[in-house]
Structure 1
Amino acid sequence: MNQPAVSGAEHPVVPGFHPDPTICRVGEDYYLAHSSFEYFPGAPIFHSRDLLHWKQIGNILDRRGQFLRGDGRPSGGIYGSTLRHHEGRFYFVTTNVGDADSGQTIVTAEDPAGPWSDPIFIPQAVGIDPDICWDDEGELLLTWTGRVAGTDLHGMLQGRVDLKTGEFIGDPYRVWQGTGGLDFPEAPHLYKHGDHWYLLLAEGGTERGHAVTVARADRPEGPYESCPANPVFSHRSRPGLPVQNTGHADLVQTASGEWAAVYLAVRPAGFTPSYHVLGRETFLAGVDWVDGWPVFDEHRYEFTPEDTAFEDDFTADALHLRWVSPASEPDAIAAADPEGGLRLRAPGDGSPGLLCTRVEDLRWVAEAEFTGSGRFEVRIDDRHRYGLVFEDGAVRAEARIGGVSAELGAAPVSGDAVVLRIAAVDCEPETLTALGPDDIVLALVSGGDVTELARLDGRYLSTEVAAGFTGRVLGVGAAGDASRLRRFAYTSTKPVE
C-alpha cells in the first residue's frame, strides 16, 4: 500500500511495541535498540542511514545466558537500556527486572548485528534504566535509577565501573534528582557537549504526564544546574494532540553535525480517556542547541513510512527476526516441518507457548494457515486476548478479559486445513462512550468465503485496560499434537492519515 508523507510529530519511525529507544551513530550509520520486556529474544536492534527508515538487523539478547528468564511475568524482563559505541566496540547496558540478582547487564559486540558477548553483571546497581558514558579520563560511568545493594543510597545514582569485574571503582554517588516538580525521575542519559556534561531524564511517568527534562554540570558527578525551560519536551495537558506520553528521549549528533532525538510516545484513540493499543512506539524529533540547552523540534522531519506488510512461508533456514516468544524461546515452540511450514508444540514450561510478532498498524488484517490444528490470537498478555482455535474439525472464537473467559462462536471445517483471520477495523459504537480505538474481527476463511465468528471491542486489548508496558502482538501456537503453521501474512488496511 502506497503511503503519503507524514509528520514525524504524528507517526513513529519504528511503529508498534518498540519502547524506550536508545540510539548511537558510527560514521554514516545509525543504530537503534529498544526494551522488549518478557519477549525473547530480547532488545531488537535496527539500522538506518537517514534516521527515518529503519531495518531490524538483530536481537541483542539472543541467548538465555544474556537474558535470564527469571520469573517470566508480563511486563517483566528487559527494561530501558542504553546503546553506545566507544573505541571500535558497541556497548549495550540494560536491566532484567525478572532476575533479582543480575543488577545491571552489559554486553558488547564488534558488529551490532551480533554476536554479542556474554554478559557482565553489576549486581550492586539495583534498579532500572542504566546509562553508560565515558569520562574525560576514559573511565566508564554507569548512571541509573535505583539503589546500591547493601547501602541506604538511592535515587538517581552514578559510579565508575570496572568492566573486567563488574564492580564499582570507588563508591557510587547521587547526581541530579530531577526537577522536583514531577514524579518518577528515571531513564538517565549522560552526554558531553561543548564544555558541559548534560544529564537528560524522563519524568512524570510513562503515561500522559511524561516529559523530558535536562540539567548540566562542569563534571559528570555535578553539581547540576536544571534547565530553566524544563520540561524541555512534553505533551502533558494537551489531550487534543494525536500523540501522547512523549518522553524517554535519547540524543544523537547526526553525520552532518546537527542533532536529533528519538523518544517514545503512544497514539491513543476512542472516547475519553482514549486508549492506546500498539504500546509505546519510537518517534523522531530535531534538536537545536540554544543558549547552551537542547530545544526539541518535533515537526522537523517528514517521511514516507515503510510498508509493514509481510508474508512468511517459513522456508528460510532460520526464523525471521520479527518472531519472539513471551516467557519462552521460539525454538521451544516451533521447528521446521519436513513437509513445509512449522511444527508447533506447547513447551510445557508455564509460558503461553506462542510465537509472536508485533502489530505495527492501527488498521490491519492477518491470516494464519494451519493444518491439523492450531491457535491464532491477538493479545496484550495472557489475561487480555482474543483468538481462534482450530481443533477437532471446527474453529471456535474465544476471548479472555481479566478473569473472564468466553467462547463466542464456532464453525465446522471440512478437511484438515484452515485459514484463520484476525483484523482490526473501524469501531462501530452503539453510543459515544462505546467508541473505542477499533473493533477486532475474528473470522474463518474457506474457499474465498469469510465467516465472521466474533466482533469485539478493541478497548479491552489496550494498555489503559490491561496495564503494563507492552503492546499488541499476534501469536500462533499449538492446539494439539498435530499443529502445523503453513503460512502467515500481515498487511496494513488503512493509509496513514
Structure 2
Amino acid sequence: MAHALTGKITYRNPVLPGFYPDPSAVRVGEDYYMVTSTFEYFPGVPVFRSKDLIHWEQIGHVLTRESQVNLRSRNSSEGIYAPTLRYNNGVFYMITTDVYGIGNFYVTATDPAGPWSDPIRIPYGNIDPSLFFDDDGKVYVSAQAAFGETSHIIQYEIDILTGEALSEPVVVFEGDEGPWVEGPHLYKINGLYYMMTASGGTGPMHREIIGRGTSPYGPFEMLPHPILTHNGLKDHPIQYTGHVELLDDVNGRWWALFLGVRPQGGKGSVLGRETFLAPVRWSEDGWPMIDNNEGHAAIVMEGPAIRESKASAAGLDNPVTTKFTSEGLGLEWMYNRVIPGQEELSLTEREGCLRLRGNANGLRDGGAHVFVCRRQQHHRMSIETRLSFAPGREGEQAGIAARLSDKSYYSVGITKKDGQTGILVTAMAQGSGTEAFTPIKEQVPVRLSIRSDGKEYELLYTLGGASAEWVSLGTLPAEALTPDADGAFTGVCLGMYAAGTKEGHSAPAYYDYFEYRPRAANE
C-alpha cells in the first residue's frame, strides 16, 4: 500500500560501508532485505533488513553450515560470488555461485534471518545467476556465460522445487561489446521485460547497462548508453560503480542499490567495494536512469523520503567495543573459510575472554587458519585488544591483523624466536613478506593496536595499563592492501589470529576485548 509522502531526506553514502559488494535486495511489504558477496569468508552472505533503504541492520547469514557450502579449499577471492535475493509466495530465495566449488545453486527460507535450506543445484551458467518469477508462474534463471570479451547472458526455465532445467539455455543478452557482461537481473515493469547487467569489469570502466522487450527471452532493445557509470568522472569520490539492483519503495518510487569504491589518492581503497544507494529517475520513454557520468550519485545525497520516522544511524561512526561472553559473537564477526572448532575457539574457557588456539595454518598459508574478524568500514580508524599469550615453541603466534588476502596483510602479535618472547610485525604485500621482531622482558598481558590514517597503517604495542604510552613499531603503506594492488575482490578485514607450529602445537591466546574506533580527521 502506497504512502503519500512528499518530503525529502538527506543521507550519506555508502549505506553499507566496507567490504559489502554486489548488493541484491527485495521489498516485502514495508520491509527491505539485502544480501552481499562474501567470497572465502564464513558464515556466508549476510542478510540485512531496513525500513528506509538507508539504515540497515544485519539479521543473520544465509550460509551458516558446511552442509550448505564448504570453503576449506578455496583460495582468496574464490567462494561465494554475487548473490541474488528474491521473494515469491512467502518464500525467500538466495541464488549464487560457489566458485571452484559446487557451482550455481540456490537456497530457501521462510524467515530471511534463517535457517536457510541446503543447496538446490542448477545446471547451467558460470557466475552471477539470478531468479525471475513471472506472472504466469514460470521461473527463469539468468546467468553469465563465457569469459572476458565473449561474456554474455544465458537464460532458461527451471522447476523451482527441484532446480531441474525445463528448457535448454539460450543466449538472451550480449551487452554493449564491453568485457564481462555479468550480474544479470530480469524485471517486469509496466508490462515490459527489462534485462539489466554490469559491463566493463568491476574496475575503472565498470558500468550498468539495460535493454527491454516484450518477452522474458527478448529480443531486448538496448539503451545506447549506461544507466549508471562514473568512468568519465575521474575526480569523483565514488568510482567503479555498477552491479545494480532496482527496487520500488512503499510509495511507488524507484531506487538503485549498487557497488562502488571510494579511492584514496586515486590508488584504490582498502575498504574494497561498498554498497551505495541512489534514487532512480524514469525517462519519458520509460528507461530507468541513475547517473551516466553526471555526478548525481554522491557521498551526500538527497532523495524522496520513504517513511516518516527517522531511523538512527547510531553506532556506524561510533567506537564499538566487543566484550566477550558465553552468548557468542555478534553477526558482524566472521571467519576465514570455516568457523573454528571448540579446540581452536572458546568463549567459555576463561570468563570474559575469547580464547584462540592456532592450528598448522598461518595467515599466509591459506586453508582454514584461525582468524576472527570484522570488516574495516572507515579509512581512518584504529583497533585495539589486550592479549595474554605465552608461546611455548617457536612458530606459535597470536595477535591482530589487517587482512586483505592470504598474500596481503599486516599483523602484530606475540611469538617466540631464538628462545625469546617478543612482538612480531609481519608485512605481506602481494606474496612478498618482511618480519621485524622486538624482544620483551615481561611476561604480562600486552595491548596491541593497528591504526590507519587512510594512507598508512601503524602497528603499536604497550606493556602498561590504560594510560601507558604506546610504542610504535612502524608504518606500512595502505596502498599495498588495496584490491587494485592485490587483485582481490574483497576488502580489508580486521581481527584476532592465532597460528601454531607445522605440527599443530599452539599455546592458548586469551583476548580480553576488541575495540574498533573510527578516527577523526585531526587524530
TM-score norm. by structure 1 comes to 0.89
Report the equivalent of 1:279: 272
Match of 1:51 among 50, 53, 72: 53
Counterparts of 1:129-140 in structure 2, within 5 Å, are 129-140=128-139
SS at the partner of 2:479?
Answer: helix
| Correspondence 1:336 to 2:331 | no
Query: Which deviates more from structure 2 when the two are superposed, residues 168-177 or residues 255-264?
Result: 168-177
Give the Å deviation of 1:311.
1.1
SS in structure 2 of the partner of residue 464 of structure 1? helix
Q: Contact 1:93/1:105 (CA < 8 Å) preserved in 2? A: yes
Query: Per-residue deviation at 1:495?
Result: 6.2
Quick one: which amino acid aligns to residue 455 of structure 1? T
Following TM superposition, by how much is the alpha carbon of 1:306 offset from its aligned partner in structure 2, in angstroms?
Answer: 4.7
Counterparts of 1:78 and 1:347 in 2: how far apart (Å)? 24
Give the letter for the 2:455 counterpart.
D
Instruction: Give the corresponding residue for 1:377.
Output: 401
What is the distance in 2 between the residues matched to 1:192 and 1:364?
43
The reply on whether 1:167 has 2:164 as its aligned counterpart is yes
| 1:388 aligned onto 2:401 | no
Return the alpha-carbon distance in structure 2 between the equivalents of residues 98 and 327 of structure 1.
13
Map Cα deviations across residues 164-185 of structure 1 (whole Å, 9 max, x no partner): 33221021211011122x2211
Aligned residues: 468
Distance 1:336 1:114 in 2: 23
Map of 1:312-351 to 2, 5 A cutoff?
Answer: 312-331=322-341, 333-340=344-351, 341-348=353-360, 350-351=367-368
> Which of 13, 34, 39 is matched with 1:37 structurally?
39
2:376 counterpart residue number: 359
Q: 1:204 aligns with which of 168, 184, 200?
A: 200
* Structure 2 residues without counterparts, runs of 5 or longer: 1-8, 291-295, 304-310, 362-366, 391-397, 500-505
Q: How many Å separate the matches in 2 of 1:186 and 1:31?
A: 22
**Alignment of 1:144 onto 2:147:** no
Q: Distance in 2 between matches of 1:401 and 1:379?
A: 10
Paired position in structure 2 for 1:76: 78
**Cα offset for 1:136?**
2.4
Asked if the contact 1:252–1:260 (Cα under 8 Å) also holds between the matched residues in 2, the reply is: yes
**Alpha-carbon offset, residue 481 of structure 1:** 1.3
Could you tell me which of 248, 253, 260 is aligned with 2:255?
260
What residue number does 2:307 align with?
none
SS of residue matched to 1:449:
coil
Aligned to 1:16: 18
Partner of 1:451: 471
Q: CA deviation at 1:408?
A: 2.9
CA 1:360/1:128 → structure 2, altered by over 3 Å: closer, same or farther?
A: same
Instruction: Answer yes or no: is the 8 Å Cα contact 2:405–2:488 preserved in 1.
Output: no
Q: By how many angstroms is 1:293 displaced?
A: 0.5
212 and 318 in structure 1: CA distance in 2 versus 1, 3 angstrom threshold: same
Residues 338-347 or 189-198, more deviating: 338-347
Question: Aligned AA for 2:137?
Answer: G
Q: Are the counterparts in 2 of residues 408 and 454 from structure 1 also a CA contact under 8 Å?
A: no
SS of residue matched to 1:311: strand
Q: Classify 1:301/1:42 alpha carbon distance in 2 versus 1 (closer, same or farther; 3 Å).
A: farther
Q: How far apart are 1:126 and its partner, in Å?
A: 3.4
- Residue 482 of structure 2 corresponds to 462
Indicate which of 433, 442, 454 corresponds to 1:405. Answer: 433
Aligned partners of 1:202, 1:318: CA distance in 2, in Å?
38
Residue 342 of structure 1 deviates from its aligned partner by 1.6
Identical-residue share of aligned pairs (%): 35
Please say if residues 132 and 187 of structure 2, whose CA atoms lie closer than 8 Å, have aligned partners that are also in contact: yes
The reply on whether 1:86 has 2:88 as its aligned counterpart is yes
Equivalent in 475, 482, 486 of residue 508 of structure 2: 482
TM score, norm. by length of structure 2:
0.85
CA RMSD between the two structures: 2.2
Could you list the per-position Cα deviations for residues 69-126 of structure 1 after superposition, in whole angstroms to 9, with x for gaps in the alignment? Answer: 2631000000011101111111100000030xx231111111110001111011x213
- Find the residue that maps to 1:18 and give its secondary structure: coil
Cα deviation per residue 1:343-364 (whole Å; 9 max; x = unaligned)?
Answer: 1122447333211111000100
Structure 1 stretches lacking a partner, 5+ long: 148-152, 426-436
> Shift in Å at residue 21 of structure 1?
0.3
Amino acid at match of 1:162: D
Q: Classify the secondary structure of the residue corresponding to 1:20.
A: coil
**What SS does structure 1 have at the residue aligned with 2:74?**
coil
Give the secondary structure class of the aligned counterpart of 1:240: coil
1:148-175, Cα deviation, whole Å (9 max, x unpaired): xxxxx98310011113332210212110
Equivalent in the alignment of 1:150: none
Kindly indicate whether the alpha-carbon contact (under 8 Å) linking 2:372 and 2:495 is maintained by their aligned counterparts in 1: yes
The superposition leaves residues 443-468 of structure 1 with CA deviations (integer Å, 9 ceiling, x where unpaired) of: 00323211111111111111121111
